[in-house]
Amino acid sequence: MLPRATRRDFIRSLAAASLYAALAPMRPAWAQHTHGTENRGNVGQRSGGPDTKRVDLVIDRTPLKIGDRAGTAVTVNGSLPAPLLRFREGDQVELHVTNRLSERASIHWHGILLPNAMDGVPGVTFKGIDPGETFVYRFPLRQYGTYWYHSHSGMQEQLGLYGPIVIDPVADEPFAYDREHVVVLSDWTFSDPHRLLAKLKKQSNFSNLQRQTLVELVSDAREKGVRRTFSEWAKWAGMRMDPTDIADLTGANFTFLVNGRASLDPWTGIFKPGERVRLRFINSAATTHFDVRIPGLKMTVVQADGQHVEPVTVEELRMGAAETYDVLVEPTEERAYAIFAETTDRSGFALASLAPRDGMHPEIPPRRKRPLRTMADMGMGSMEEHSSHQQPGGVAHGEHGSGTDQMVESDHAQHGAGGHGSSHEAKPASESMSDSGGHGGMEMPKNEFGPGNSMMAMMPMNRAGEPGTGLGEDGRRVLVYRDLVALDHRKMPEVQREIVLNATGNMERFIWGFDGKKYSESEPVRLKLGERVRVTFVNQTMMEHPLHLHGMFMELEHGGDGMPPLKHTVVVKPGEKISVLVTADAPGDWAFHCHLQYHMEAGMFRVFSVT
């Protein structure tokens, strides 16, 4: 017999339900279950002239509910994500940002080309916004596309201060669609991000609950053979590294969101069967890369980082932190489709639904096995390892530049991967690595960057034709950088000089930087106004780094045909060497950093000074 509920129990239940409802996060209209065709967002009020659009934004702390837990977020106008800002190319915008926090705040307009004083980076372009103060950002919009905005202060981005920007083009777009949805991916933590950073500095792998076990080692020995298994183990142990180290922070610390909603209460985008739907994907996660797919639908990528690209149809794409991709899908069935964004370490996922009506729930795809790093991620990969991977509908990775022909130093970088006069010539890994677990008699590169770096890639190479760790093995067509070809024609002036920047890190001590130096130890990268430079990134670490340059686009030299795509954020794979072209057409000091927030906070930050 069940006990009878008392009046006191009823009052307690009612109070709990009221509190739970009160904590439900306020979401802007575009992030609700969406029936409209355009997600118009906040287009602003006219102010200061016929073409000036004013928007008032208030930064504050707001109690909310994420999944089944209560927390407090740093919000804009009380909502998570922040309001969608929608403008038109050519508009003059006036953004009045008021800080109601008890600490300094800021907003950076990610990917937007604007005057230096409006970029929103404390200590570089302005002092920040003090408590109680209102700062007015004014700038013209000289571009079209999908972008986003976020805080550049006090790890507030991790706590919820991020939102989407859509700039409609003046000219007709080179593709048609019937409706659109903005899809913002993010990672949420109920922990203090400063404490998480402190824990990473004490034990950098504390969040990795998927480390290899003795049982797995025995299983691998049965599958691969004892000699090979223990040879691989010895290589990793000798480098004091872990092949399961894919992400600094994992699903053990994060709840992954789509438009502010957890998978327990997924966001739904509405469609009518037969419509062509545009999805504007934005990865606003502080430190998470996502592998995005919609089982049952192919995605045609039409924009990357806000700029038109030649359409390419894929089944999955990897979104580095801070990247944006616009895709077209054509659902024909009267059913719900899962928008499934799986973390690269497979420790969690963000989930949304694309459905003909509210209340329909998609089938959740099975989770994939946790991937492992390889010697290629250490800059030691063999030609056979790369060229054996074939993209469905594409070309072999070896043909994309991972073979022996790409291991020779290029004409514009003849002084070694680090640009410091290294004498190590690039050779096929089959000549430099022995089956016994040693290095075939080849001397390992010396660490040229001091205690701020713990490894050197033996043979850094262009990996723009590879989908990335954990992708490309299951038959799906995956987007790779080499697929991206700019659609808008532009002039390509000659390059005047090259700058080499090495992404470096000491993972055990959680120190990150460039050329072995943290931001506090570095000098600006100096450019002359109007100068055209090639910037070559060499990733000496075993982590992917989404590198973001403020104020100017980077033109990605991925080694493929066609016009190089414009990117505001370039993900550099482990052991990779890849170049971008930059025209220094924006005077001032501009931030350049890894967009994994914990790497940036640990020192992976520089300034490009254009004078």
What mean pLDDT, rounded, does the chain reach?
Answer: 84
Q: What is the DSSP letter of 84?
A: P
Q: Are 38 and 85 in contact (CB under 8 A)?
A: no
Check whether 415 has a pLDDT greater than 70. no
3-class SS at 55? Answer: strand
For residue 306, what pLDDT is reported? Answer: 98
Cis bond upstream, residue 81 (ω within 30): yes
For residue 30, what pLDDT is reported? Answer: 63
**Rounded mean pLDDT of 515-521?**
95
Three-state secondary structure readout of 402-442: CCHHHCCCCCCCCCCCCCCCCCCCCCCHHHHCCCCCCCCCC
For residue 222, what pLDDT is reported? Answer: 73
Check whether 275 has a pLDDT greater than 60. yes
367-405 confidence digits (pLDDT tens): 898 888 776 776 665 433 443 344 443 333 333 333 323
Least confident piece of the model among 42-56, 141-155, 398-412, 589-603: 398-412
The pLDDT-based confidence of 445 (bands split at 50, 70, 90) is confident
Q: How far apart are CA 393 and CA 399, in angstroms?
A: 14
Check whether 274 has a pLDDT greater than 80. yes
**Rounded mean pLDDT of 536-541?**
96
Helix (H) or strand (E) holding 19: helix 7-22
Check whether 409 has a pLDDT greater than 50. no
Which residue would you say has higher pLDDT here, 446 or 436? 446
Check whether 221 has a pLDDT greater than 70. no
Check whether 161 has a pLDDT greater than 60. yes
For residue 34, what pLDDT is reported? Answer: 46
* Parallel, antiparallel or unpaired: strands 511-514 and 134-140: unpaired
Check whether 416 has a pLDDT greater than 50. no
Helix (H) or strand (E) holding 233: helix 226-238
Per the listing, tokens 């998609």 go with: 362
Q: Which amino acid is at 611?
A: T
The pLDDT-based confidence of 198 (bands split at 50, 70, 90) is very high
Check whether 19 has a pLDDT greater than 60. no
For residue 432, what pLDDT is reported? Answer: 35
For residue 508, what pLDDT is reported? Answer: 83
Cα–Cα distance list, 447 to 9, 36, 375, 453, 584 (Å)? 66, 56, 18, 7, 31
Q: What percent of the chain has pLDDT over 90?
A: 67
**Rounded mean pLDDT of 511-534?**
97
326-373 confidence digits (pLDDT tens): 999 999 999 999 999 999 999 999 999 999 999 999 999 998 988 887
The pLDDT-based confidence of 590 (bands split at 50, 70, 90) is very high
For residue 133, what pLDDT is reported? Answer: 98
For residue 211, what pLDDT is reported? Answer: 63
Q: How far apart are CA 386 and CA 469, in angstroms?
A: 12
24-57 confidence digits (pLDDT tens): 555 666 676 543 344 555 555 544 555 789 999 9
